[in-house]
Structures are given as C-alpha cells and as structure tokens.
Amino acid sequence: MKMKYIPLLAIALTLGACGGSESTESHTEEAVEAAEEVAVEEESGSEINDMADFKFHTMIANLPSPLETFNLMSGVNVAMEGVNLTPTEDSKNLSTMSAKAYGYGMYITDMGFMAYEHQNQQTLEYYATCRALAGELGAGEVFERTISSNFEENTSNEEKFVKMMDEAFNAMDQYMVDNERFVNATEIFVGSWVETQLIATGIVKDEALSEVNRPIFQGIYEQKVHASNLMNVLSEIETELDDEVVDHVEEIMMFYAGFASVESITSEDLTELENKLMALKAALTS
C-alpha cells in the first residue's frame, strides 16, 4: 500500500478568500436568533446539572484535543487513502441547533486535519463552513475573536496553529457553558470526538500494528477510557438528547471496552469500529 508522510503545517493563506469580517450588527442578529431557537428547543427549562458540568470538564481535561491527536500523527508514516472527511456541502443539511453543534465539532476537526495535510483550498473551505456554523449557533463573535483574528498569522506555524485551535475550542466550550447551553457544548465535543476517531481509524484500518503506527493504535485503544467518560456525561443529560445518539455512544463504549490490549486490535475490529462510528455520525447529523 502506498505510504504518505503527513507534513508539518506550512500554509500561507489570506482571510480575504473567506469573504471578510461580519459586522457587529450581523453578529447581534445571529445571537438573538440562535438564542430564540435554543429557547424553543429547550423550553423544558432544565438547568445545568452541577454533576454533569463537573463530569464534562473532567472529561475535557483528560482528553486530547483533535489538534493534539494530529500532532501525534505528524511524525508517523501512514496510509491516507482510507480517510474520508465530512464534505462541506453537507453543512446545508444541518437543520437543528443540535445538528449544527455536532457539525461544528466535526468541521473544525476536519479544518485542522486539512491544515496538517497542507491542503490550502480545503482548509479555507472548512474554515468558511466553521465560521458560518459558529454564526448560526450564536457564537460568531467567539469564532472571530479566537480564529479569524489569528488565522492568517498562525497558519504558517504548526505550534501556533495548534495553540490557536485549542484556545478556540476551549473558548467555544466556555461560551456555551456561560450562556447555559451545556447541551450544545457537549454536542460540539461529541462531533469533534467522533470525527477524530474516524480519521484515526481510517488511517490504520488496513495496516497491521507496527512500531511505526503504534502511536495511532495506542490512541485508538485509549478511547476505551474516554468513551466511558463520555457516556458518563451523556447519562446526565440524556433526556435532552436523541435516544439513538445515546444508544450508539453506549454501543461504541462497549466495543472499545472489548479491547484487551493494543496488540489485540485487528483489522476486522477497526472496520467494525469505523462502521459503528459512521452510524453514530449519521445519527448526529440527521
């Protein structure tokens, strides 16, 4: 199988290709519209559960960010043919606030991966998609402040880009929690988590474990702990989520739990895992 080295980030892009900054008035209107939609979707008025909040932030603190995962991959010679990212045109089918939150998590992960792959045009396309979704979620100002204002400067330096993306991810989480949108914050994280695991699985699913690709296999194996933590968080807010989503996450958690060691993971396991992740992804964006 053809092998490809994931290059270090070296991109020189201009923000002009993305259509320029949005006005303050536009951000205000987006925030009002998003808040109204959230009020309709969560009219039950459930407050943020303190235990759910604790579990969520404990989980975030103990999970690698997508960009950290890509950084782990950057020194590994791996096959890339099996990686299928989420097409940007699919974002127009995200009709609910939940689907948009899941989608934002997926697309910001894809944007980071395309940056690592030195795919300039695709990186810009994912950037534009994330920017639009952030606005629709009522968080356009957060995106502009953490990503747009630093995008051009940091894309030419891998370390700075990783730091920028981590700060942006944390800022979006904090914005959602501060505005009592804990469910949306969780949904963004779930979308990012699913996309990251699909990328990792796609890279090695046709490869036997070796010392070269062991870091990626190790990362997949370690999801048995992370998936369990994720399920603990979802159990606190499951009444706010689609039953199908919770069921898929639980099924994936049990599948991860079946891995006895890194060496026990087979190509068949990875194919089955990919199918389960794809089923969850379809439920998130339906």
Q: Cα–Cα distance between 244 and 1 in angstroms, integer?
A: 37
pTM: 0.77
Q: Work out the pLDDT band at 198, boundaries 50, 70, 90.
A: very high
pLDDT of residue 11: 21
Q: Which amino acid is at 65?
A: S
Residue 191 has pLDDT above 70, yes or no: yes
pLDDT value, residue 15: 26
Residue type, 259: F
* Tens digits of residue pLDDT in 12-64: 222 223 333 444 344 445 444 554 454 444 444 444 456 566 666 666 556 55
In which domain, by residue range, is 63 found? 49-285
pLDDT recorded at residue 121: 85
Count of structural domains, the chain? 1
pLDDT band at 81 (very low <50, low <70, confident <90, very high): low
User: Does the residue 21 lie in any domain?
Assistant: no
The pair of structure tokens assigned to 118 is 């030195």
Cα 237 to the chain's mean position, in Å?
19
* In a domain? residue 275: yes
- Which band of pLDDT confidence, cut at 50, 70 and 90, is reported for residue 86? very high
Residue 37 lies inside a defined structural domain of this protein: no
Torsion angle of the four alpha carbons 191, 196, 198, 200, in this order, in degrees rounded to the nearest 10: -170
pLDDT, one tens digit per residue, over 96-106 is 999 999 999 99
Q: Is 121 helix (H, G, I), strand (E, B) or coil?
A: helix
Asked whether residue 204 is assigned to any structural domain, the reply reads yes
**C-beta atoms surrounding 238 within 10 Å:** 16
| Residue pair 235/30 in contact by the 8 Å Cβ criterion | no
In a domain, residue 131? The reply is: yes
Q: What pLDDT is attached to residue 44?
A: 42
Length of the chain, in residues: 286
Q: What is the mean pLDDT of the chain?
A: 76
pLDDT the model gives residue 179: 80
